[in-house]
Chain A
């Protein structure tokens, strides 16, 4: 299942060529965001439902902006997590959404596979905006876009991903994407947060951050959630910050021109030191800017696939 399926469910389903096509398309859309009138009629008359079952201000805002700039009619459909069969089932919700005849459903859900479920039970194109700890494909695409902007390429780079890899859809999508485009990815977590068999995805795996950062072109921090501490993955935020926080000292091991990334929202002083987040190597805010162009590209390309299929 690739873009031709009409959905963007994950990076795992894309091949390198499709990824590059999305990134190239995003470049042309980035230009629009620099115009005085930041709007094109590309998706006029199309309906996009932003279906967010898990709160996410930044991803939803980024999608909304992308939809508006493409002149789509968009509507937000939020639901509180109906997990474990309390309340309305996902199938019934899917049918309700389908009855509104949307062209696209941008979906955020706490359960892995929820967007795949929607794709199986309807006609709309589904864009996965994060399904639990599974995938977050547009985040990985905007990360790749940002890396390409700074490094001119992805092939041959060394990318260190440091943090809670086990619960991170950002990590998983990035590992898929960057390895497909020829980068060496090193995933680094406390051993309690390293999912088993991760190396079968083609990345290197370590629990030593110094080893991960050594010679890195890109250093990506991952958000760590407080609830991971209470469920025993590490003893305290203080200790986590000391062992795994990305700080100036640690960053010295990376290449002198290495960039620092974070998908946000950040816990300053935990997974990333404030001065690093705000420092000259940080591209964190560019990531946010690029998110809009990448999401415009995804909507545009999927609309093309829908037209082909129609």
Chain B
């Protein structure tokens, strides 16, 4: 493989405290050197003037749907979509068919990703066998096969006893338990945020308190057991406050937020738009503002998409009958740049941290930095380039996005995995 020299860009590498003009040399799949005026030698030179050169972005929460739901997405299409979106790695949730609750399924995903994946794929194993919430799955086997965390995502871990055991047992491997926080009894079949919009639409409400209760339970259990809990797709202001307080008390809790939860509110449901139906649901404006504040003050560790492809036929039904979830890879970086950085909420450095070193640390993977010697995964961003969301050009197999037609400023232009360019927006 040829050397690649990214010249004259603004290098942002939060893990190493770098934010400034520099060149980055990639060689043999690794970061060789970061510094001023590196001489090209025999390298292919890419002029990155006016661009941001960052460690490869990581999306720590996607649903690739393979094995078993290939009509929605596959490892091939999902990772191609990730590459086109500026991500060099994704972590995929285990609610496949069969569930990724064993070494064999984890291996199947790892092998499929090696053969057909455009970006790195880190499987997340199920907490419980079959995601049934009854007995722990064989975590050790899955870790050996490449699992980086455990989650019953799609479902919460309902039993506090099982959650306790998961937080204890996972400490053997030093991996987090990622919880989808939803008290199913309280949600009681709710299909959108409970509030004035659900009341106006006659739709069954999914109350924010059902999320808050499980977040607080998980924090208490993490504190009690010393385990690491990671809160998936946090959507309420109250949950953010719980995490903020717990972090002050040194509880091992981390959390992520999705772009749709900081970009939209339940008003986006409009007149029963199933592309605005996801779990957890879009919340109130007060929640949205509280999440943005939590992103700004450091409470939120990562931005993750919860990329959840569903076939158009599945979404083209009555609102209550539609599956939860939207695709999120392509819109994640543009939404975050536009609504967080350009809007003055956070710095570039903080944005890069949310997408790189933080998710890498949570998952315990050696990535998310430009430290010489690490894999040459790089995301290059044009801070001002216009990005228009268009369903008809998406790389995902599915088109379920509420952002169709949005014009955003800032997007990735180059995605490099292991020193190889996997996407160039100008080609």
Contacts and interface: CB of A to CB of B under 8 A. Distances in A.
A1 B207 CA distance: 29
A134 interface: yes
B196 interface: yes
A114 B196 contact: no
Contacts of B272: 112-113, 116-117
A83 interface: yes
Contact of A133 (B194, B196, B202, B271): B202
A201 B319 CA distance: 22
B226 interface: no
Contact of B321 (A84, A116, A169, A197): A84
B201 A113 contact: yes
A83 B191 CA distance: 14
B199 A85 contact: no
B94 interface: no
Nearest to A199: B196
A112 B202 contact: yes
Contacts of B319: 111-113
Interface in A181-222: 195-198, 200-201
Contact of A196 (B194, B201, B271): B194
A204 to B, nearest CB: 15
B313 to A, nearest CB: 8
A32 interface: no
Contact of A169 (B195, B198, B202, B314): B202
A132 B314 CA distance: 21
Contacts of B207: 196
Given A134-B202, A196-B196, A201-B200, A116 B271 contact: yes
B203 interface: yes
B316 interface: yes
Contact of A198 (B199, B201, B318): B199
Interface residues of A, number: 28
Contact of B316 (A83, A91, A111, A169): A91
A172 interface: yes
Interface string B315-343: 01111110000000000000000000000
A132 B189 CA distance: 15
B310 to A, nearest CB: 12
B196 A135 contact: no
Interface residues of B, number: 22
B318 A200 contact: no
Given A196-B194, A196-B205, A113 B199 contact: no
A12 interface: yes
Given A196-B195, A197-B196, A91 B202 contact: no
A30 interface: no
A90 interface: yes
B317 A90 contact: yes
A5 to B, nearest CB: 11
Nearest to A173: B202
A4 B333 CA distance: 41
A131 interface: yes
Contact of B202 (A85, A90, A132): A132
A83 B326 CA distance: 22
Interface in B237-261: none
Contact of B318 (A1, A90, A169): A90
Contacts of B202: 112, 131-135, 169, 172
A200 B317 CA distance: 28
A89 interface: yes
B106 to A, nearest CB: 31
Interface in A64-117: 83-85, 89-91, 109, 111-114, 116-117
Nearest to B319: A113
Contacts of A198: 196, 199
Contacts of B317: 85, 89-91, 117
A8 to B, nearest CB: 14
A109 B318 CA distance: 10
Interface string A106-149: 00010111101100000000000001111100000000000000
A90 B321 CA distance: 10
Residue from B194, B196, B205, B313 having most chain A Cβ neighbours under 10 A: B196
Nearest to A169: B202
- 6 A-B pairs with the lowest CB-CB distances in the bound complex, closest first: A134-B202, A197-B196, A113-B272, A111-B318, A112-B202, A195-B199
Given A113-B201, A195-B199, 7 more contacts: A83-B318, A91-B317, A112-B319, A117-B317, A131-B202, A135-B202, A197-B195
12 contacts: A83-B321, A90-B318, A111-B320, A113-B318, A117-B272, A134-B201, A172-B200, A195-B199, A196-B194, A196-B205, A196-B207, A197-B196
